Structure 1
Amino acid sequence: MKITGIELRRIAMPLRAPFRTSFGVETARDVLLVRVVTPEAEGWGECVAMTEPLYNSEYVDGAADVLRRFLIPALPEGADAIAVKRALKPFKGHKMAKAALETAVLDAQLRARGESFGSYLGASRERVPCGVSVGIMDSIPELLDAVEGFIGEGYVRIKLKIQPGWDLAPVRAVRERFGDDVLLQVDANAAYTLADARQLAKLDAFDLLLIEQPLADDDLIQHAALAKLMSTPICLDESIESVEDAAAAITLGAASIINVKPGRVGGYLEAKAIHDLCVAHGVPVWCGGMLETGLGRAANVALAALPGFTLPGDTSASRRYFATDITTPFELADGHLDVPTGPGLGVEPIADILDDVTTAGEWIKL
């Protein structure tokens, strides 16, 4: 597949409400989109890096720079997605930038041959159950109101962001208000240390699905130690950047569940490899989210339809974060989202909306 040019486009997507985690507050998404153009089709990829390097070391300006200077020039002639993955491997890090480029190439490749993302990846379902991530709030009453709203919308699982000082009380309040039937999990975004093990173990009383990334992203050994001190399953997120990381975590006993975020691991091909590894070892996986637009959400929903994704993911409806999405919005129905069946991602940007939110663009001729 010959690529004739690539567009790097920046868009500004204001959030419907601030989203607060242990590492900061987001009020808008500065999104880098990658558009690959070939004689047969165009393809889109979404870079999920944040404006600042807070979730991990990547950030939007850095992603645009490494794409422009290194990754795009390294594309082989006649590249397909597998060849792109191979060509980008020598460059260290920059998984989110690599994922955006690989996804755009894969989207163009699949559109050209009329195959959907779900079919290519091996999806086994036509729709996927959806959870929702609830940020840290100013008060417990505010949190309870938010959770009540999401349950009313039909979300089948609630995830609470936690940090030291905001953990036991909010979890207890949600359990007492909504009962044991609500699927509930928590996400610490690496905010704790092993010295907090006694505090974290108190979460065992609330029958949680899992605790996500309680400790530092670069410390599997400490997570393995914590897993022996808690009955709540440990799930890793930031620690897993490759199939090798997943294998190490499983071998060490550092995780009994893994959150797969395609942007974090370098793309959907690597995400599929992690899924396959986890299925072989009987480890459940679920699809995480990075406040994606409809482009990234379409690919995530297709991934979440693979058979090993047995837990509801963070594949929320478009309106969870955005008043207006850049694609036809994903809408929740009975707690589920439909898996797109059209060629490639199965969705594409709506031109007028995309133009309205565009802040910068660059065309790179190949």
Structure 2
Amino acid sequence: MSPQVTPIADTAQDLELTERMIAPDGQRVANPRLDAFVDDVDAEQLRALHRDMVILRRIDAEGVALQRQGQLGLWAPCQGQEATQIGTARALAARDYVFPSYRETGVIYARGAKPGDYVRMWRGEEGAGHDPEALRVAPLQIIIGAQTLHAVGYGLGILHDEADEVAVTYFGDGATSQGDVNEAMIFAASYGAPVVFVCQNNHWAISEPVSVQSAYPIAGRAPGFGIPSVRVDGNDVLACMAAMRWALAHARAGKGPAYIEAVTYRMGPHTTADDPTRYRPQTELDEWRRRDPISRLEAHLRELGELGDDHVAATQEAADDIAREMRAECLGMVTRPPLAVFDGVYAEPHSGLDRQRDEYAAHLASFEGEA
């Protein structure tokens, strides 16, 4: 029997709490609100989540290294946010459609991205690093909060088609101050669209602390739009999975949108163009390192006697293998011919696009013969 789908947070007092299932020291914490949503998760599945997070961290480190070596134009690190991304993404059904921001490396990994998919866009070779239809993940969105509007538009299409899907959108705490996010929530609530909003509250919107974005827990905004919400420990992968299962069940039941605020921390820079030491105290970073999501799950598995050295070694080997493939794919990429920029813009032939292609071809031809 599925757990009853009810709003997780009903009062201001509820929203002051951060739902947790695994404490920073690895101890399992009983959670009457969320336990039923993950009662099927056994040690084998926990080890799989651990493997995912270790691999994601290695992918992220390789992305930073490639950018520092001049092979990528930019990289948006997600170190510290592994539990939020893996926990929520692994709860999705294959038919659900994701609308990410630029930091959701873990989400596209969980949806089946290949090594080259992580770097293709950041190297400037394609507008989308992955095949959106194959992964059912829209291209990474650079414009802050715009993906929430896209998710709601897709959600309205789900309603129109009477399909059994949910649109899921990810964004940061800084994006909650954007009009796009609030307008998306208004539309989703007004039309009952099956959309799950996932706010990764990583405490810093570039150099602005979350206290500048909101003096009250961000999850408290959603009920004001008529959207039930839950505030979870974003460094607790089990709680993140449970929260997403609750939200998906709510949306699939025809009850409209749901909202998750995952309280986590960005351990690295906002992007590789950022220097967080100029605005973030080292003591704060040190405090959050003690809440590391990977170390937390490792401690929990060791407490259960379910984390052997063979698993740790095999996981690290798999992570290194993916990083090597990712680097090889990056260094081996061949830039497409200039006119390929027009490929895939429309599903069907378009006379206006044909004209633009011809004009651009003529422009390129005008440089032929020049030294």
TM norm structure 1: 0.29
TM norm structure 2: 0.29
The structure in which a higher percent of residues are strand is 1
The structure in which a higher percent of residues are helix is 2
Higher RCO (C-alpha 8 Å, min separation 6): 2
